[in-house]
Amino acid sequence: MQIENKVVIAGLHDKGKAAIIELQTTSYEKESGEALCMNRVCNFSGAPYTCGVRVASLNHHHHILTQAILRARFLLLEFLIVNLQPHMRIAHNSPRHALLYRLSGDYNPLHSDPMVANIAGFNRPILHGLCSFGFAVRAVIKSFCNGEPSSVKSVFGRFLLHVYPGETLITEMWINGSRVVYRTSVKERGRAVLTGYVVLREIPSSL
């Protein structure tokens, strides 16, 4: 199967000293044109990338309002359950993750070149955010889907902090209806780096 991705700027918001850029990527089966999935990413860009003027969203406001409601619901859900004992806890660690993840096609030198990382304000290269995200979602699939990715309906993630290659990622998970809420933390620094949830098509009866 050949897949074609189409990317559009779905929203642009000037925040004064920074800007939020919303990118929407829709993946299609090239031959049939069937839409397979849609990814939406909000990038927070620093001062060099501000718009200079107040810019309204380039996309329909309904989607923005819906996403804001979903985020608010998630924050409330997270607040209510993260102090409870997690249903599952998985750790993963590898100092080579950042270099291996480059095989996905993301060659940003921030993840491999110490000089570039230093210019960006880090003391050494950092792990790709989507790599950390992948480990969190994979932990959910391994723990609650018997290793079957097709059991996942949708995923949501909120990036909180950078991760250095070699740090131990601890992913804690809580079941809430058809959702598995997760929180990924760095063991060495005791800091949460990623939170979110995975919506499952069904919860295995064994759980």
Alpha carbons 131 and 101: distance in angstroms, whole number: 7
Tokens of 17: 């000293």
Other residues' Cβ atoms within 10 Å of the Cβ of residue 130 = 14
Which residues are 35's β-sheet partners?
28
Compute the distance between CA of residue 26 and CA of residue 8 in angstroms, rounded to an integer: 9
Residue 78 backbone phi and psi in degrees, to 5: -60, -45
Active site residues: 106, 111, 126, 129
- In the chain, the amino acid numbered 36 is L
Alpha-carbon distance 173 to 55, whole Å?
38
List C-alpha distances in Å: 28 to 40, 137, 145, 180.
15, 22, 25, 27
For residue 67, CA distances in Å to 72, 121, 128, 202 come to: 9, 31, 24, 23
